[in-house]
Amino acid sequence: MRVRINNLSFAYGQKVVLSDINFSLNSGETLAIVGRNGTGKTTLVKCILKLLKVPPKTIFLDDIDINEIRKFHNIAYVPQRPEFNYEFPITVKEILSASYPSRKHDFYYKSTINSLQINKFYNENINNLSGGQLQRVFITRALLAKPKLIIFDEPTVGMDVESMNELNLILNKLKSQNITMIIVTHDHNFGLRYADYILKLDDNFTYTLETNTPNNILEIKEDKQ
Amino acid sequence: MIAFISSFLDISFFEALTKYPELFLNALIAGIIIGIVAPLIGSIIIVRRLSLIADTLSHFSLAGVYFGVLLSNMFDFKISPIFMAVVFSILCTIIMEFLSGFFKNYKELSMPIVMSFGTALSGIFIALSKSSTALNGYLFGSIFTVSTTDLMIILSLTALIFIFIAIFYRKIITLCFDETQAKISGIKTKVLQYFITIVLAIFISLFIKIVGVLLISSLMIIPVSASMLIGRSYKQTCIISIIISELAILLGIYLSYTFSLPTGSLIVLLSIAFMIVIMIIRYIVRGKKRKPEDINNE
C-alpha cells in the first residue's frame, strides 16, 4: 500500500503537535518514526489511522484521501500493551476470532495462527501471557486483517531478548511479503534495522526524513528547521 | 405479596408449587430469564466500565413507571408502567449522550445529573398521581406480581436482546476490549455503544418489577464480578455468572416464600454471599499456589 502525507499539520486546540509533514512510502517500504516523548509520533500514527480528524488532501492511502475512505481494508495496527483491557478474562482464541472478518476459521486463519506459533497458548487467558507472547497475539490479529499496511506502536517496549528475536523474525518475514510498515519506536537502532526511511520528529515541530542505507544514513529529502 | 401468599397458603414452598403452580409459574419463568440475561448484559457493561449507567437508567426508568401511573389516573385508559419505563430509559440514554457532549472531559458527570433528574421526576409524578401503593414493589421488587402480559413483554424483548447480542457479538467483543482496534476495523463505535445502552435501558425497565430499582444493577454486576475472579475465558465467565445468578434467584424465591422476606433483597444478598465464597476459595487456592514462589523469592 502506498502512503503519502502532504503538508500535514495537527494541533490539539491551540497546541501545535505536527507542522507541515511531508513524506511518501511505496508498497513494501518501511518507515521508522523516531523521536522523544511529546514530539508527535503517536499523533502522526493516529492521523494516518483516522483516529484523529485531519484536513482534506493531507493523507493519501493508495492515492485515496483518507477522508473519503469510509471503512479501512487491509490496514492493521499493533498497539502498545496498555491500550487493551486486560482485567476481564478473555482467551487468545476469543480475541482473534472476534477480530477475524469471517466467522469460519478458514485456511488463512489457521495458517496465520500456526506461522506465529500461537497454538501453544491459543486457549490461554491473555492475563497469563508474557510480553512477547502478547505482542505475537497482537501481530497475529493484525495479520488476520490481511494487511497491506501495518503500523507498529513501540513494538519493543518491555521485551526481553528472546521476544526481541521473535519480533525480528516476524518483521523480516513481513518485509519479504511486500507489506508496507510504519514502526514507531524509541529505539533508533531497532528502526535502522528494518526501515527504508527514518522520520525523526524533533521538538519545536521540526522533522528530518532520512533514507536508510546499509552503510550509513544519508539525508535525502529535507531537513526542516 | 410473598408474605401474603405464604401466610395465606401456610404450606411449604414445594407443596405450594405442586398444588398452585399458576401462582409461581410466571415468577419462576421471569426469574430464570433474568438469571440468563442480566449477567450477559452485565459482562458487557463491566468490560466497558459502565457499571454506574445501570443505576442511572434504573432511577430514571422509575420516573417512567410513575409517569405511566399518572397518565392512567388522569385519563381513562391503562398504560403499562413497564412500557413507560422502557420509553423513559431510552430517553435517559439520549439525555446522557447529549450531556456528555457538553462535558467532554468529565463524561461520567452526565450519570449523577440524570440520576438526580430521574429521582426528582419520580417524586413529582408520585405526588401528582396521588398514589404510592406500588412504591415498595418498584423500589425493592416483587417477582410474584409479574402478570402474564408482563411475562409476554419480557419474553419478546428478551428474544430481541438475544438477537442483538448474537448478531453483533464479535463487534461488541472488539469494542469492549479494544476500542482503538474497533475504530480501525471500521466498527461504528458510537452507534454500537448507543445500541448497547438502549439494550441495557430496555432490560432494566423490563426487570424493575422483579428486582426493583434499587437492586437491579446489582443483579447485573455482582454475579459477573464473582465469576471474573475464577473465569479463564469470556465465555466461561459468562456461564459461571449465569449459574451464580440462577442459583441466587431460585434460592431467593424459595427463601422469600419460606421466610416472607423481600425477594429482590434476598436475591442480591445471596449473590453477594456467592461472591464472598468465591473470593475465599480463590484466596485459599492462590495462596497455596504462591507459597513455593514466595519461598524461592526469599
Q: Verify whether the Cβ–Cβ distance B43 to A89 is below 8 Å.
A: no
At residue A220, does pLDDT exceed 60? no
List beta partners, residue A31. A182, A197
Residue with more model confidence, A217 or B55: B55
CA A156/CA A186 separation, integer angstroms: 9
Distance CA A159, CA A165 (A): 10
pLDDT at position B54: 85
pLDDT digit string (tens) for A10-57? 888 888 888 888 888 998 899 999 888 888 888 999 999 988 999 999
**In this predicted structure, what is the pLDDT of residue A224?**
40
The B residues from 221 to 260 touching A (CB cutoff 8 Å) are 228, 231-237
- Band (pLDDT 50/70/90 cuts) for residue B244 is very high
DSSP at B233: S
Residue B145 pLDDT: 77
Most A CBs within 10 Å, among B51, B179, B184, to test the A interface: B184
A225 within domain boundaries: no
- Number of structural domains chain A divides into: 1
Interface contact flag, B178 A84, Cβ < 8 Å = yes
Q: Does residue A224 sit within a domain? A: no
Rounded CA-CA distance B267/B211 in Å is 8
Position A82 confidence tier, pLDDT thresholds 50, 70, 90: low
Would you state the pLDDT for residue B25?
Answer: 85
Contact B233 A89 (CB under 8 A): yes
CATH code for the domain of A187 = 3.40.50.300
Q: What is the mean pLDDT of the segment spanning B230-244?
A: 94
Preferred mutation among A50, A52, A90, A150 to probe B, highest tally of B CBs within 10 A? A90
DSSP string, B140-171: H--GGG--HHHHHHHHHHHHHHHHHHHHHHHH
Residue B263 sits at the chain A interface (C-beta within 8 Å): no
**Looking at the predicted structure, is the pLDDT value of residue B298 above 70?**
no
A192 part of a folded domain: yes
Q: What is the mean pLDDT of residues A155-179?
A: 81
List the single range of A29-43, A163-177, B24-38, B164-178 with lowest mean pLDDT.
Answer: A163-177
CB B23 within 8 A of CB B5: yes
Domain enclosing residue A115, as ranges: 3-26+39-207
For residue B43, list chain A residues with Cβ-Cβ distance below 8 A.
88
- Cα dist from A16 to A184, A204, B298, whole Å: 20, 9, 51
In this structure, what C-alpha cell is assigned to residue B262?
423481600
Question: Could you read off the pLDDT of A138-148 as tens digits, one per residue?
Answer: 889 988 888 89
What pLDDT score was predicted for residue B297? 45
CB pairs under 8 A between A and B: 75
Q: Which three cell numbers stand for residue A122?
A: 491459543
Does residue A195 belong to any structural domain of this protein? yes
Interchain pair A89, B228: CB under 8 A: yes
Residues of chain B found within 8 Å of residue A150, distances taken between Cβ atoms:
none
> What is the per-residue pLDDT for B223?
95
The band of B245, judged by pLDDT with boundaries at 50, 70 and 90, is very high
Residue B89 makes CB contacts below 8 A (sequence gap 6+) with B57, B58, B60, B61, B64, B201, B202, B204, B205
Mean pLDDT of chain A: 83
Task: Look at residue A74 and tell me whether its pLDDT is greater than 50.
Answer: yes
pLDDT reading at B286 higher than 70? yes
- For residues B239 and B224, give the distance between their C-alpha atoms in angstroms, rounded to a whole number: 9
Domain locations in chain B as residue ranges: 2-216
Question: Are B234 and A91 an interchain contact pair (Cβ–Cβ within 8 Å)?
Answer: yes
Query: Can you give the pLDDT at residue B224?
Result: 95
The dihedral region occupied by B120, where left means phi > 0, alpha psi between -120 and 50, and beta the remainder, is alpha
Query: Is B282 within 8 Å of chain A by CB?
Result: no
Neighbours of B292 (CB within 10 A): 9
Percent of chain A clearing pLDDT 70 (strictly above)? 92
**What digits encode the pLDDT tens for the residues B64-80?**
888 888 888 888 777 77
Biggest distance spanned by C-alpha atoms of chain B: 78
pLDDT at B274: 96
Mean pLDDT rounded to a whole number for chain B = 84
* Chain B hits for A88, Cβ within 8 Å: 43, 46-47, 176-177, 228, 234, 237
Give the pLDDT of residue B8.
62
- What grid cell was written down for A222? 529535507
This complex has an ipTM of: 0.81
Q: Which residue has the higher pLDDT, B216 or A151?
A: A151
| Closest by Cβ to B176, choosing from A79, A85, A103 | A85
Q: Does pLDDT of B209 surpass 50? A: yes
Taking CB atoms and an 8 Å cutoff, what residues of chain A touch B173? Answer: 90, 94-95, 98
- A91-138 pLDDT per residue, tens: 999 999 988 877 777 888 888 888 888 888 999 998 888 877 888 888
Cα–Cα dist A34/A64, whole Å: 26
